[in-house]
């Protein structure tokens, strides 16, 4: 049995970890921290979990609270995991960070986009990027896992086979739409239902923090610099990301070859599902599941390839991917606790 | 392994059965019928199920298609199960009907409310009403199970302890709100998103088909005639029922005794969860789960007791309850395949 | 031309006042206050108003900012209007308060429910309750208008003819559902889209601040004490209130007489629309309009009368009603600026 | 007073015409047709219109019903207006067609995309495309107006200044998101709330009927062939279109020049509002209004220009634009009946 701790248990990625881990047959949740709710029963805040967590109460986010854990998940705002990582690692505790603290390899770039000084830049090199479909082997031995962000997961899985194959122009576009849970569980006017319901808008078009993360990944796939235009949008729903990706084909390549490229690449991936050519994946079909569904289109037989890629931002884009990484690290079946069917309708 | 068939696999209760049964360790889904989609892969219609159903295709709703089943679920419009029930029962196949064909014991009443002639009234007497919290023992031996409706489940579980105790006036009110999936997967203008989104209304106030079903149940609990005013409403969400029940206390009974009455009554019920007195259950906390959450209020210390009762109409109000009944009938743990946590947020 | 000021222009009732007054042919908006946004253009915060407000900027909420107004609307949290009312009245400025400061005639009761000391209890007696269908004549001469709350408007208009007629038991129930804009434009977790979308719940069942306000109104209609059970709910939409009211008939009274009672009572009311007996009013049909639509039902020909009453909480429940009151006070046609059709779909 | 008829009064563009025309000071609605609802009061189907339409009832769609009209609006499915156009024009009645029958100048192309034979191709040449910001002068004298589609309006207004200026590559992308009311008021499973709520998907990526319409318009602007990749999406809201447009700059052109280009182009357009550079228009800010709001972005100072353009699909994308065209044709102020503020929140 793996003893797991969750730092930041009151946000949406935290409660999603609880939902998944509560039913994970190899995990015992032993600590859930929340500075503001210390002593409160976790299921008093989240009545959906009544009966699944014994008498677990929120504790302070301290080394003492976590020292008996085998693994600690950080479901915290950016800038928190880096404060505790070293001490936990020294105690032999594995870290799975769902925030962005260890995602970018370039510290200067990280500090510029996140607007703070990185407090343990020396750990960045050893952090393994938690996108199992790309870094599976490294994750099996990683002590510090920097889970991929939600947008980065949908976009990178969508472009991966193409960029490895090297058949597209390296100026690409990602027009991505997210449900509002991606903004987190924070008291803010901008994500009130009265503000976001029944409305649609783009945001952060001039520059979103996931841009350098995605660019880093795409560049590694292509083995040369990729120039990404990334436009995120807020869509009036709670869960789900839909990435609409645009790439210009540089080689003669048939529709059948393209489809075959994707199907072959993801043939052994349980959590990436390539639909028939010309399909339209729908975020509802991955809601609550750890799956990414992908479909290809080549409108009017031109050279602009359109890739559609959908995930649940809280599962494959956060907590599910974190558990998938944990399973790899601890030698468990990769799908342990993750073999669920999306909630439709 | 139980071989299960589903008649009417293209509606919301049908696909919800598929979602639950696909992961049920003791069930093999062997037949899913759909007159209009014969030959089509089930997961082509429902991409959320890709990978969970092997190569299952829709078949015709016939005895031949179903004769190897141990149990057949009817997730059909009213009036279908009664046409096939006798032949299936004769072959020793258990029937779990999610429609209303066998819910009312009074045939004349059924024919009046459902506007058709009942084709096998002789089976009605042997049908066991599928609300395990009330008819558990009978369900263990039932060959024909008439699953409780969605509204009836939320309302009956809410009133049960009170009516058995006999401490309220028998004129009661159920003001109930449902998500739109309760209306089914039918091509209709009334349940388009443009019609039901961002709007709220009552419907069928003069008389809804669930009225006689609920009244039959409440009267059995009270052992005398109960007069129910039942007002259903359509609320702009997909899943969930919230029943707000009003009863007038006739005895002197303290808040503590009331709360204790409910907690004691449901102490051993895994799927009925009595919250602290004065709580406000939220439909999201049971979304996708087989649970009913209930809370009591006595506003201004008066005599009008308010009971709040929430379920997911497709799970505890339909497919989950059907599987719970199946588990009982086949001697499995009652929660097999149903131990899931609600999807929040 | 009436010079109008709005104190608290950044909340939903404030921006709704702006929407209505910007097109009101007899009103010039001369001051909009916001402590936190002083100097900012109003249409920078609300781009929907670009082109309709000239160069209006937010100013401080001070007597100086408002002294040239003929009328000042308070679209503020409770407890603000009472701080400025006396000074404004002394300058001959009319006050239309959309908050609750002057709604309750009993100061002690107000202080208990609102948890603060009333700073100018001497003004309460002169305040006229802003529900024109009940207090039209008094409003024509009112210098201080205390606009009716949103729930109180829907509930009181629904019960009025019955209570004046005196044909129901005085124990009544109001089961009321509101869109989330009723909670205001405040940074709060509870009204995030991720919390309120796709979910339904009751709240404040043990006691909501609108309870004493409604009871005060109903008691005045009945000329004797009315005992109300009031259960508010939050429904996943932005605008709209749907009140489902339950009353027990004490007299023999036919369906035709009941319907006639309502039609006659509201025959000359432009903003109260009595639908055919047995109709189901839908909140979408009053969205954005100043109208209340009402329908009656007598299920199963019993004695429990069900009254359905819908309004847009921000219009007839707030800003529209305020403008209707202003029109009366300034001798304008009562519907000036309010003759709009609801936005459907 | 202009006598106006509406053919197809039961769809969303029909009822939106009713909402606008009911309050238009120069229009009398004299006929509203509906084959299935002949004799029914229009406000019985649409209670939001009670009190605004006198006793208007639905009539048959025939020349007799319409012969006293000055103008007839077709709010019908494609293929209907072309059947009646000639006879109406012969009687001197102006036609404003909100369907697609007369939008494409190339008949063969129209027949290919719409899958039917055009019954009066000889009228196509005289039809004026109803996008007043481009064809204002021609509309003043048009007897047959082919209103621009919803997607085409948002996309063309977004690209217009750029293409006329000639500073972008002619391979462009339009990633467009629409609310579900764009699918019309039809009994269909695909647009049920249970299907479209809480979910997001692309559709018709391989080819949507608005593609040739937009391409025809863009090509006219550029005076050379434009190659458009057009990807429409369905977003879980009722009203609103958000177009995210991508173009590659070919000239050196500064951000200031770009912004100036748009502001100058639309300086005198009441219904096109260019926001500050770097803004994020939100569909809610045009909901219920006839306005298009546009903003420009040049992410990371590169060469990929991002244009954001939002409209209400039922107003500027349909009924509002139709009334704007009617105003031009009948010599009225262009904004008559259209000077309204969007409904926020």
Selected residues 113-172 of chain C with any CB under 8 Å from a CB in chain D: none
Selecting among B59, B69, B147, B150, the annotated active-site residue is B150
- pLDDT score of D175 more than 90: yes
Q: How far is CA C105 from the centre of its chain?
A: 17
Strands (E), chain B: 2-7, 27-33, 58-59, 71-74, 94-97, 128-130, 144-147, 171-178, 201-202, 227-234, 241-248, 272-274, 292-297, 304-311
Q: How do residues C289-344 score in pLDDT, each as one tens digit?
A: 999 999 999 999 999 999 999 999 999 999 999 999 999 999 999 999 999 999 99
> Which residues of C are less than 8 Å from A236 in CB distance?
193, 197
∠ CA(D166), CA(D168), CA(D173), 5° rounding? 130
Determine the residue of chain A that is closest to B288 in CA distance. Answer: A343
How far D106 CA sits from the closest chain C CA (Å)?
A: 34
Q: Give the mean model confidence (pLDDT) for residues D308-321.
A: 98
Q: Give the mean model confidence (pLDDT) for residues B203-213.
A: 97
How confident is the prediction along chain A (345 residues), in pLDDT tens digits per residue? 999 999 998 999 999 999 999 999 999 999 999 999 999 999 999 999 999 998 999 999 999 999 999 999 999 999 999 999 999 999 999 999 999 999 999 999 999 999 999 999 999 999 999 999 999 999 999 999 999 999 999 999 999 999 999 999 999 999 999 999 999 999 999 999 999 999 999 999 999 999 999 999 999 999 999 999 999 999 999 999 999 999 999 988 999 999 999 999 999 999 999 999 999 999 999 999 999 999 999 999 999 999 999 999 999 999 999 999 999 999 999 999 999 999 999
Check residue D134 and give its pLDDT: 98
Would you please indicate which residues of D are annotated as catalytic (active-site) residues?
A: 150
Q: Which of D109, D125, D118 is nearest to D79 (CA)?
A: D118
Q: How many CB atoms lie within 10 A of CB C28?
A: 13
Partners of B41 in beta bridges = B57
The reply to whether D283 touches chain A by the CB within 8 Å rule is yes
The reply to whether C201 touches chain B by the CB within 8 Å rule is yes
> Which residues of B are less than 8 Å from D13 in CB distance?
none
Selecting among C59, C69, C147, C150, the annotated active-site residue is C150
Question: What are the tokens at B144?
Answer: 């024909």
Q: Give the mean model confidence (pLDDT) for residues C70-95.
A: 98
Please indicate whether, in this complex, the C-beta atoms of A306 and D229 are within 8 angstroms of each other. yes
CA distance A289 to B168: 45
The set of chains that have 3 or more CB pairs under 8 A with C is: A, B, D
Using CA atoms, how far residue D336 sits from A10, A116, D21, D27, in Å, is: 52, 54, 10, 10
The reply to whether D186 touches chain B by the CB within 8 Å rule is yes
Mutate to test the interface with B, among D10, D47, D183, D194 (most CBs of B within 10 A): D194
Per domain, the residue ranges of chain B are 2-126, 151-313
Mutate to test the interface with B, among D185, D191, D193 (most CBs of B within 10 A): D193
Please indicate whether, in this complex, the C-beta atoms of B343 and A287 are within 8 angstroms of each other. yes
Check residue B54 and give its pLDDT: 86
Contact A84, A8 (CB under 8 A): no
Question: What are the tokens at B88?
Answer: 């299936």
Q: What is the mean pLDDT of chain B?
A: 97
Please indicate whether, in this complex, the C-beta atoms of B341 and A285 are within 8 angstroms of each other. no
Please indicate whether, in this complex, the C-beta atoms of C344 and D273 are within 8 angstroms of each other. no
Check residue D65 and give its pLDDT: 96
Cβ-based neighbours of A69, under 8 Å, separated by 6 or more: A3, A4, A5, A30, A31, A93
Check residue B200 and give its pLDDT: 98
Dihedral pair phi/psi, residue B43, rounded to 5°: -80, 0
Dihedral pair phi/psi, residue C208, rounded to 5°: -115, 145
Strands (E), D77-225: 94-97, 128-130, 144-147, 171-178, 201-202
Question: What are the tokens at D183?
Answer: 């699918």
Cβ-based neighbours of A312, under 8 Å, separated by 6 or more: A239, A240, A241, A283, A286, A287, A288, A289, A290, A291, A320, A342
Q: Give the mean model confidence (pLDDT) for residues D283-312.
A: 97
Closest in C187, C194, C236 to A180, CB measured? C194
Q: Which of A94-98, B54-58, D24-28 has the least mean pLDDT?
A: B54-58
The reply to whether B236 touches chain A by the CB within 8 Å rule is no
- Domain D2-126: CATH superfamily, name plus number: NAD(P)-binding Rossmann-like Domain (3.40.50.720)
Determine the residue of chain D that is closest to A193 in CA distance. Answer: D345
Closest in B177, B194, B230 to C200, CB measured? B177
The reply to whether C268 touches chain D by the CB within 8 Å rule is no
Count, residues in chain A? 345
Tell me what percent of the residues of chain D surpass a pLDDT of 90.
99
C150 is catalytic: yes
Mutate to test the interface with D, among B185, B192, B198 (most CBs of D within 10 A): B192
Determine the residue of chain B that is closest to C345 in CA distance. Answer: B194
> Three-state secondary structure along C259-322?
HHHHHHHCCCCCCEEECCCCCCCEHHHHCCCCCEEEEEECHHHCCEEEEEEEECCCHHHHHHHH
CA distance D67 to D61: 11
Q: How many CB pairs under 8 A join B and C?
A: 144
Q: What is this structure's pTM?
A: 0.98
Check residue D253 and give its pLDDT: 94
Please indicate whether, in this complex, the C-beta atoms of A194 and C12 are within 8 angstroms of each other. yes
Determine the residue of chain A that is closest to B199 in CA distance. Answer: A198
Q: Is D33 left (phi over 0), alpha (psi -120 to 50) or beta?
A: beta
Q: How many CB atoms lie within 10 A of CB C49?
A: 21
- Confidence band of B251 (pLDDT split at 50, 70, 90): confident
The reply to whether D96 touches chain C by the CB within 8 Å rule is no
Closest in D47, D239, D281 to C285, CB measured? D47
- pLDDT score of C54 more than 90: no
- pLDDT score of C251 more than 90: no
Q: Which of A285, A287, A290 is nearest to A319 (CA)?
A: A290
CA distance C284 to B235: 12
Q: How do residues B162-173 score in pLDDT, each as one tens digit?
A: 999 999 999 999
The reply to whether C112 touches chain B by the CB within 8 Å rule is no
Check residue D304 and give its pLDDT: 98
Mutate to test the interface with A, among D170, D201, D285 (most CBs of A within 10 A): D201
The CATH class that applies to domain C151-313 reads alpha beta
CA distance C317 to C311: 7
> Which residues of D are less than 8 Å from A304 in CB distance?
171, 173, 229
Check residue D251 and give its pLDDT: 87
- Return the DSSP state at D148: P
CA distance D146 to D133: 14
- pLDDT score of B314 more than 90: yes
């Amino acid at each position: 049995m793996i003893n797991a701790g969750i730092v930041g248990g009151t946000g949406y990625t935290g409660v999603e970890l609880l939902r998944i881990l509560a039913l994970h047959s190899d995990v015992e949740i032993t600590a859930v921290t929340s500075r503001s709710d210390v002593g409160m029963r976790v299921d008093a805040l989240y009545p959906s979990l009544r009966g699944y967590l014994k008498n677990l109460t929120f504790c302070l986010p301290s080394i003492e609270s976590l020292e008996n854990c085998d693994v600690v998940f950080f479901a915290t705002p950016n800038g928190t995991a880096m404060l505790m990582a070293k001490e936990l690692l020294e105690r032999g505790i594995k870290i799975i960070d769902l925030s962005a603290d260890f995602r970018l390899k370039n510290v200067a770039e990280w500090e510029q986009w996140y607007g703070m000084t990185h407090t343990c830049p020396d750990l960045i090199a050893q952090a393994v990027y938690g996108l199992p479909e790309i870094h599976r082997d490294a994750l099996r031995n990683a002590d510090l896992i920097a889970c991929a962000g939600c947008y980065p997961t949908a976009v990178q899985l969508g472009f991966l086979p193409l960029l490895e194959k090297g058949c597209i122009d390296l100026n690409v576009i990602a027009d991505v739409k997210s449900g509002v849970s991606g903004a987190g569980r924070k008291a803010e006017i901008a994500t009130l239902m009265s503000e976001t319901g029944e409305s649609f808008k783009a945001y952060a078009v001039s520059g979103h923090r996931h841009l350098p993360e995605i660019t880093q990944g795409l560049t590694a796939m292509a083995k040369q610099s990729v120039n990404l235009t990334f436009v995120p949008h807020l869509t009036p729903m709670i869960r789900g990301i839909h990435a609409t990706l645009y790439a210009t084909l540089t080689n003669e390549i048939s529709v059948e070859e393209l489809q075959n490229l994707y199907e072959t690449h993801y043939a052994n991936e349980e959590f990436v599902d390539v639909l028939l050519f010309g399909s339209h994946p729908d975020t509802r079909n991955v809601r609550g599941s750890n799956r990414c569904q992908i479909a290809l289109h080549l409108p009017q037989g031109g050279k602009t390839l359109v890739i559609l890629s959908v995930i649940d931002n809280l599962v494959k884009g956060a907590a599910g991917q974190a558990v998938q990484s944990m399973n790899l690290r601890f030698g468990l079946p990769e799908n342990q606790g993750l073999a669920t069917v999306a909630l439709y309708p």
